[in-house]
Chains A and B, each alone.
Chain A
Amino acid sequence: MDNDNNIDFKDLWKRQSVSQPDMQDLLGRLKKFKKTSMRTFWILNVLLFVTCVFNIFVWYYYQPQFISTKIGIVLMVLTMMIYLFVHNKLLGKYRNIEATQTNQEYLQNLILIKKKQQFLQTKMISFYFISLTIGICLYMYEYASRMTFLNLCLAYGITLSWIAFNWFYLRPRKIKKQQSKINSLIEKFEEINHQLES
């Protein structure tokens, strides 16, 4: 309310020293940026393609007799495809979040995406693990059934304990680490969004 202030904020503000970088610098950075984003896209999709080819190869070359083997292969491929698909889609959404909306809309979108990421990192990871485990067990059955009982126990025992290690040890640790990060981020964005409401 006091009008005795004669600090010229605008004048001070504009006196901040600024150096405009050469536009060539910017264009160079742009090229690099494009390259790296294309690279991750290709790595993911080549990986998916290779896995599919490998499975088709197994199918043709070993000519599995049991239906369980075939279901196992389909399940494994499907699981990986679904996971990569959801992951790719979310990544794309995050990258292409409309930058020209108002701050308020933008913040709401950011929160939404972060919540989806939260879902991906918890529920989706669990689905991925369970589905992949079933797939592997089914797939192994045909070959394991030809083994002696001891070898069968050994084969399933090693596989399942490796999965159990991942499920009970690595998974919760990874989830916990990511969750605390993402939760604090959601909280922060919500707090900023709230600033606009008050």
Chain B
Amino acid sequence: MEFEEIYKTYWDRIFRLCMGFVNDYDAAQDLAQETFIIVWQKLETFRNESAIGTWIFRIASNNCLRQIEKQKRFPKSELPIHLSEEKQTSLEPQIQFLYKCIAELPETERIIISLELEDVKQTEIAKIVGLSEANVRVKIHRIKEKLTQKFKENGQR
């Protein structure tokens, strides 16, 4: 696969993964760019041992973990507090709330749920994170429960 093709296919998905991790548009943009810089550098070493998607998501999620070192530079964007009082004419507040909730989860859970929402197969998620498939399934279930709970509490339904 050519780099340009990879870039066009995966940019949106990688960006959302980063966004779920930091919940800050600019920081996520930076993280996604960094990811593609690594992809560009490493593309030669990619052998078809795994799917290219798995390979790219590994790079992206590792890069997210690494940015913790610089985290203090990125203050998380705050959300208006009285979200539920706004008229729910658009989905926008709900989208924002989802990303906010995800970014508040423990780091590895952010990665796991983002991959799940991105329609990555659970076998692949297991390969990206380094857990067993059964473990991933249990975790996804628990995270979804947590998110549902948070949405209920906030009256987002």
Q: Given contacts A10-B117, A21-B29, are A185 and B91 in contact (CB under 8 A)?
A: no
Question: Which of A23, A29, A196 is in CB contact (< 8 Å) with B7?
Answer: A23
Q: Which residue of A lies closest to B91 (CB)?
A: A15
The answer to whether A16 touches B68, judged by C-beta atoms less than 8 angstroms apart, is no
- Candidate in A5, A10, A99, A189 with the most chain B CB atoms within 10 angstroms: A99
Q: Which residue of A lies closest to B107 (CB)?
A: A192
Q: Is the interface of B mostly helix, strand, loop or mixed?
A: helix
Interface size on B (CB < 8 Å)? 54
Q: Which residue of B lies closest to A103 (CB)?
A: B129
0/1 string, B80-122, CB within 8 A of A gives 1: 0000000000010011001100000011110100100111000
A binding-site residues for B, Cβ under 8 Å: 1-2, 5, 7, 9-10, 12-16, 18, 20-21, 23, 25-26, 29-30, 33, 99-107, 110, 185, 188-189, 192, 195-196
Q: Is the interface of A mostly helix, strand, loop or mixed?
A: helix
Q: Given contacts A30-B37, A102-B128, A195-B109, are A9 and B12 in contact (CB under 8 A)?
A: no
B binding-site residues for A, Cβ under 8 Å: 4, 7-8, 11-12, 15-16, 19-20, 29, 33, 36-38, 40, 42, 45-46, 55, 58-59, 61-63, 65-66, 68-69, 91, 94-95, 98-99, 106-109, 111, 114, 117-119, 127-131, 144-145, 147-148, 151, 156-157
Q: Which residue of A lies closest to B149 (CB)?
A: A5
The answer to whether B65 touches A9, judged by C-beta atoms less than 8 angstroms apart, is no
